[in-house]
Structure 1
């Protein structure tokens, strides 16, 4: 009989770093600042938002490292909450991951991939609307569904290609900034006084670009010496992500007139056009497409491990379990199916607001389980950063989420049905298990 819940050790430190970076450096890094600039009216406030969100994510990565040292299985938020607080809390987190977290983020990246590829290669515009988004989502599912090692190597290759391209773009842009008399562009938009509620809403958006800091925790059960390797992978990956996010966004918002990118999702291509003309625009669009591809493959790799863990616990049908040495194929298929549905039903900005708010609350709940384990089980993390890092992460995340909800209540209202359906699904799951 094939063993369940004991997958082979297949994830190295570099794989984990690539998983974090690939998960984080997706659509948000190239689209958020245009919306943020429209709301905040200042380049400096936009960059500050990226820095603040980066430090909050770093506190989150350190906190997740503490959680993994105590719980070295795969599963992420579902595992932490169900083992520390209550199975219902874990189920809701897993349910959010299933309905919104991973499929929604995949749909978000796939839609952006579709837009950038059509612009970079005009002949692709003859394809039906969203066809490329659907194709790349299916392809990512096939890549990770065949063999675990093949999926890992493919993802590592895409991330290496992306990092190389980003380094070239950063160096080339730096040269342009130092040699051009007209750069950086510093003229500002006319805006009112600083609004903390608007800044909080921007942070919720920006946090979506950093939400991959915890990606390595989803595959902890497939890592040798997970207690040490997984925390290191999350911290290194988050630091690299933070560096890339700040540098790339500084190039974009200081490389072009503010009015040309205000409120636009294609801020990266507008900046490339201003800095290097049409050839630069095409190159940057292809680079962004590769970045989005890494985001899609990272989430296709990580997400199904959550559903497989839920199936191990009986919270989902046994069909979605992961067997030793094999990828969780049924779970991958389920996630791909939901992502395809969202691609056909959603829009880019609506997905970004909903995902940023919903996922930030789940992350805060997971990190708060550190305090629960401390006071409930007497497990105090052996880290110099406890309790500072989790307090910073949970406090800042909840504060900015609340301020954002006050500024735009639609995000909060949109999250309610997901949670309510999750609660109902949990009790249906419990009842079905009792009847067996």
Structure 2
């Protein structure tokens, strides 16, 4: 049997960072600023969501020490709660966590690329996004090491360019930060709890990749130590980075210019450094979003492969050599279908709600059954805070966006239906 443990700490941290730093970073603050009407409230939301994500990374790290195989929430919940709950988490991960996330990043990448080159406007809508998905699938279809090394190089390039952006922006502070100079007031009287929760839910989606390394844990060296460290280190780096760059987004440009805008990053870059700087930011966004598509294409099919290995999906989803090639191919097809039928804001709300529920249930499992007496008191407190905060934010946000949240619940119900059909089929086979 081939030893698939070839990824080290650097690659694992790279997986976490590239999963987190993606489409949500470049779009969310524009939407949040329009709803919250205050740069300070937007930064407060990013800070709260960052603390919640850090608590989540600790909770997932505890689970990763106990279950050192690939599979993510599917594996954890199957082992700790019930196979039906694990199967449901696997379906949610596949549909929302990877297929939907790939589509969201690819759609945002297309919009950013069209801003860079108007000559591409004549191409059919969704064609660039679909091409990006195909390229990412080809990158990871054959060799794990080559795909991960290319991933690391791209991640390093995008972080370097983003740090340059932050340095240039802070060099102009406070003289050229328009919203900072105008002392935009906090209009808390016009912001309801459900409105703030919706922005928190969107922002939490930008942190969702804090658990990314768990999905390929079976291919990581010294899994018990490396995965928890990668989750915590990667999340800490991104939390600090997010807070700095979003301070630029919400304070450097005039409020009216960026509130509600999908392309807030390029707008702010143009305000700071002119057309050339906006073009450079657009290039950074394209690179960054490609890494988001790429890493989801790398880790998503691992969940399919694990479910196939356990007999919950057809065997052809499993590994063929170093990679689960058929699963990668089908993941790409499903993502392209998502690209054709969804809009950016609808997809953001759907993904945020659905993935938040799944994460809350997973970390909450630490407080149940076999785990309850095996983890330390401070870990219980962290798990309890993450679970409660995530559920409250999700349901308050759902009350303001019932249609997209209902789609998340439909995903869950469909997962339960599929599990019931598979269980019945197994019973029939066993009886025969």
What is the match of residue 296 of structure 1? 293
Q: Is the 8 A contact 2:84 2:419 kept in 1?
A: yes
Cα deviation, residue 386, structure 1? 1.4
What is the match of residue 400 of structure 1? 393
Is structure 2 residue 242 aligned with structure 1 residue 245?
yes
What is the match of residue 152 of structure 2? 156
| TM-score, normalised with respect to structure 1 | 0.94
Cα deviation, residue 181, structure 1? 7.9
Cα deviation, residue 369, structure 1? 1.4
Is structure 2 residue 325 aligned with structure 1 residue 329?
yes
From 264, 282, 285, the counterpart of 1:267: 264
Counterparts of 1:433 and 1:7, CA distance in 2:
31
Rate the CA distance shift 1:203–1:183 in 2: closer, same or farther, 3 A. closer
What is the match of residue 26 of structure 2? 30
What's the C-alpha RMSD, in Å, of the aligned pairs? 1.7
Rate the CA distance shift 1:71–1:272 in 2: closer, same or farther, 3 A. same
Counterparts of 2:396 and 2:327, CA distance in 1:
35
From 386, 391, 402, the counterpart of 2:379: 386
Is structure 2 residue 362 aligned with structure 1 residue 369?
no
Alignment of 1:82-231 (within 5 A): 82-177=78-173, 180=176, 184-188=180-184, 191=187, 192-231=189-228
Q: Is the 8 A contact 2:26 2:262 kept in 1?
A: yes
Cα deviation, residue 99, structure 1? 1.8
| TM-score, normalised with respect to structure 2 | 0.95
Cα deviation, residue 89, structure 1? 0.3
SS in 2 for 1:73: coil
Rate the CA distance shift 1:377–1:276 in 2: closer, same or farther, 3 A. closer
Counterparts of 1:99 and 1:73, CA distance in 2:
21
What's the CA shift string for 1:317-349, capped at 9, x where partnerless?
0001125x5111111111111100000111000
What is the match of residue 62 of structure 2? 66
Counterparts of 1:58 and 1:121, CA distance in 2:
38
SS in 2 for 1:387: helix
Unpaired runs of at least 5, structure 2: none
Is structure 2 residue 253 aligned with structure 1 residue 256?
yes
